[in-house]
Amino acid sequence: MQAEANQLIREAIMKTDIKGLTLQELKELIVSTGEPGYRADQIYTFITKGIESLEDIPNIPKKLKEKLSEIAYVSKAVVYQKLESKEDETKKYLIELDDGNIVDTVLMKYRHGLSICISTQVGCRMGCKFCASTLDGLVRNLTAGEILGQIITVQKDAGERVSNIVIMGSGEPFDNMENLERFFELVHDEKGLNIGYRHITVSTCGLVPQIERLAELEIPVNLAISLHQTQQSEREKIMPVARSYSVEELISAAKAYSEKTKRRVTYEYALIRGVNDNPQTAMQLAKLLRGSLSHVNIIPVNEIKENDFKRPDMKKVREFQNILISNKIEATVRRELGKDISGACGQLRRSTIDNKS
């Protein structure tokens, strides 16, 4: 069984994943087989709708399917588990990839439509102390087709178009920059999912060179920074990435990004009792962000069994928020969706792979 799976993976590696191609590239691939390029439109449409096998695409000549399947395949993103909130309409998915790895994807319903939170890596090597996704380190990067595949699969399951994307699931997106850039191109394709850049938010723990690279791309995606501490030495204690890029460098890169793109930067701030929830820290944060196009998203920390971090009480959370607001910094407290099903990001996946192995 394992040998068979390995054989399939080896074959897949040597072939091109159609989900990872733009329409133009698919056309070129088809033409290279001696078949007419116009067939690409038909195939592309069905793959965008969630068909995961060339065999299942109707009205395509058998000869083309045979030729194409010698050089290409469609990567799978299968719903391994789905949890639905009883409190709101949030759904949490565990998506299984071709090699058996599993990633988290969350679908949230807002007044303005469906929003999806997707993963870019299996695991993560960034080591943030409050995060369950990093506890086993990085397993591997997702390909662009696999990042896109989460949206296609969940959209098909929901039977409704996803209009907003948040790249904030497991993994550090900027640690998988090449595939991320490719994903931006694919998801924006008007013949594909056709999601505007302004409806995409990418979140980073603070990889400064990649923030600069994103600015160079000149696409107006929204940037979110997982900040969580204002003091350099304290941030290093909970986020090892801070040892490579200081708080000042990070904020200055984020400010440059917003100046260039005219997009407001969101600063994610997980509030941890007794660690970063004091009024002085709120004041420092206000000072750091003063005058910039920014917004602070305060997130009372998710409590996970693997560490002792506790969430502050709501009074403390509001006090923190009010200090920011009174210093003219926009600040909101994240509304918790799917509280009854989610737990911390990465936790469901961890408990599932423990049971799977």
CB of 114 to ligand SF4, least distance (A): 23
Residue 124 touching ligand SF4 (CB under 6 A)? yes
Q: What six digits make up the tokens of 1? A: 């069984």
Listed in sequence order, the DSSP H helices in the chain are: 2-14, 23-32, 39-48, 62-71, 144-158, 177-188, 208-217, 232-238, 247-261, 279-289, 314-326, 347-356
- For ligand SF4, give the closer residue by CB, 124 or 242: 124
Q: Using CB under 6 A, which residues numbered 126 to 145 contact ligand SF4? A: 126-128, 131, 133-134
- For ligand SF4, give the closer residue by CB, 120 or 155: 120
Residue 103 touching ligand SF4 (CB under 6 A)? no
Return the range that interacts with ligand SF4 (CB under 6 A); candidates 1-9, 23-31, 100-108, 125-133.
Answer: 125-133
- For ligand SF4, give the closer residue by CB, 206 or 338: 206
Whole-angstrom distance, CA of residue 284 vs CA of residue 230: 7
List, in sequence order, every beta strand (DSSP E) within 20-150. Answer: 72-73, 77-84, 91-97, 102-110, 113-118, 121-123, 138-141
CB of 127 to ligand SF4, least distance (A): 6
Residue 26's beta-bridge partner residues?
none
Q: Using CB under 6 A, which residues numbered 164 to 193 contact ligand SF4? A: 170-172
- For ligand SF4, give the closer residue by CB, 239 or 251: 239
Return the range that interacts with ligand SF4 (CB under 6 A); candidates 41-49, 122-130, 297-305, 327-335.
Answer: 122-130
SS3 103: strand
- For ligand SF4, give the closer residue by CB, 138 or 324: 138
The answer to whether 147 and 179 are in contact (CB under 8 A) is yes
CB of 169 to ligand SF4, least distance (A): 8
Exposed (0-12), middle (13-18) or buried (19+): which is 353, by Cβ within 10 Å? middle
Q: Which of 205, 214, 324, 344 is the binder for ligand SF4 (CB under 6 A)? A: 205
The answer to whether 114 and 160 are in contact (CB under 8 A) is yes
Q: Write out the H or E segment, with its range, that includes residue 299.
A: strand 294-300
Amino acid at 169: G
Q: Using CB under 6 A, which residues numbered 209 to 268 contact ligand SF4? A: 226
Return the range that interacts with ligand SF4 (CB under 6 A); candidates 50-58, 119-127, 248-256, 312-320.
Answer: 119-127
Parallel/antiparallel/unpaired status of strands 294-300 and 102-110:
unpaired
- Contacts to ligand SF4 by CB under 6 A: 124, 126-128, 131, 133-134, 170-172, 205, 226
